[in-house]
Amino acid sequence: MAEHHSALGLATALRPVQPVTLVRPHAARRAATFFTEKFPGRCMYAVKANPSPDLLQILWESGVTHYDVASIGEVRLVSRTLPDATLCFMHPVKAEEAIEEAYFTHGVRTFSLDTIEELEKIVRATRGAEDLTLCVRLRVSSDLSKLSLAAKFGAEPGDTKELLFAARQAADALGICFHVGSQAMSPDAYANAMEIVRAAIVEASVTVDVIDVGGGFPSTYPGMEPPPLERYFDTIHRAFESLPISYSAELWAEPGRALCAEYSSLIVRVEKRRGTELYINDGAYGALFDAAHIGWRFPVKRLREVPTASPYEEFSFYGPTCDDIDHMAGPFLLPADIQTGDYIEIGMLGAYGAALRTAFNGFGADETHSVDDEPMDSLYLGDAREAEPSRVVSMDEHRRKAGQ
């Protein structure tokens, strides 16, 4: 993996024809250190957000020792990459063969579930093992998050008493877990979920050893600027301390996006301009899946050695494939004089960008380079970020510059 100082320096030196992924190992280390030092419990990386072996190694070296895996493929990947890591199989619906391999081959002892059927499957697959940590997933609201995870998984209130009691009988350690949805924009999402946890514990009258607040910890994007993560941690800690659980109970979390969003960005080239539509060489089937399919706005900037005084304008993107749905509506704010051949950096793509990339239509080949400049935005730089000139300009500021 080649190393460069900055996105601009790379674009200027290489003039790449294909999309280029930029990785910033220092940004991932900073995020991991922040979580391991400040979250008041165990930090467990959600591998689905970005399964890059290089990133897994960085997180491990930065103190992340536990990994939330959702498939036997992720189990095998992390076992191969980090043989000493602790794996927790947190997908609530698993193939019995996957459970068996995870337990007997890879040493997995923690499993989540949300039905009696899944509990019975785990017991059969592990042959009645007596060293299991079983985490019952409860359904909670995603109303305070940008992406819902409330429809597919989670035991309903009427089913939790029986399920918790049965899991308690089969488990060495009993846990309760939930997921407030992706990109939670308020700490209240966790406080509200903890009230559902409280009600479930009281109703079932069971001893609970683990409270796992799942993922949902946000990153910052244009139009989505969350409160400081410390506020989330404080809210979670207060709610945890007030639960009717034993003094020795553990608090867990499963950050994914918050640990890896700042890790990588993408350099693309403009292949055509049609009015305010830019045809670029990556898109919906590549790293920009979220921008196309759920309307996610990512920070963008033109990479040109000599900047111009051009006002900013709102653009949309078309990706390189033949499909009309290969379209990213944005709006993405760029200089109005942008033209064919210009390079654009698209930031904050470390979460899900690489994980969802395909080679559909013959596109998708890309290089990866390491850079040591800062990501286009950050939740972790604090006062240092405030002291720097802003790298991401707000919509209002763009419009002021454009005289709109």
Report the distance separating Cα 68 and Cα 1, nearest Å. 27
Tell me, letter by letter, the H, E, C secondary structure of the chain: CEEECCHHHHHHHHCCCCCEEEECHHHHHHHHHHHHHHCCCEEEEEHHHCCCHHHHHHHHHCCCCEEEECCHHHHHHHHHHCCCCEEEECCCCCCHHHHHHHHHCCCCCEEEECCHHHHHHHHHHCCCCCCCEEEEEECCCCCCEEECCCCCCCECHHHHHHHHHHHHHHCCEEEEECCCCEEECCCHHHHHHHHHHHHHHHHHCCCCCEEECCCCCCCCECCECCCCHHHHHHHHHHHHHCCCCCCCCEEEECCCHHHHHHHEEEEEEEEEEECCEEEECCCCCCCCHHHHHCCCCCCEEEECCCCCCCCEEEEEEECCCCCCCCEEEEEEEEECCCCCCCEEEECCCCCCCCCCCCCHHHCCCCEEEEECCCCCCCCCCCHHHHHCCCCCCCHHHHHHHHCC
Among 43, 135, 177, 322, the active-site one is 322
Q: Which of 273, 249, 232 is nearest to 197 (CA)?
A: 249
Q: Is 322 a catalytic residue?
A: yes
Active site residues: 322
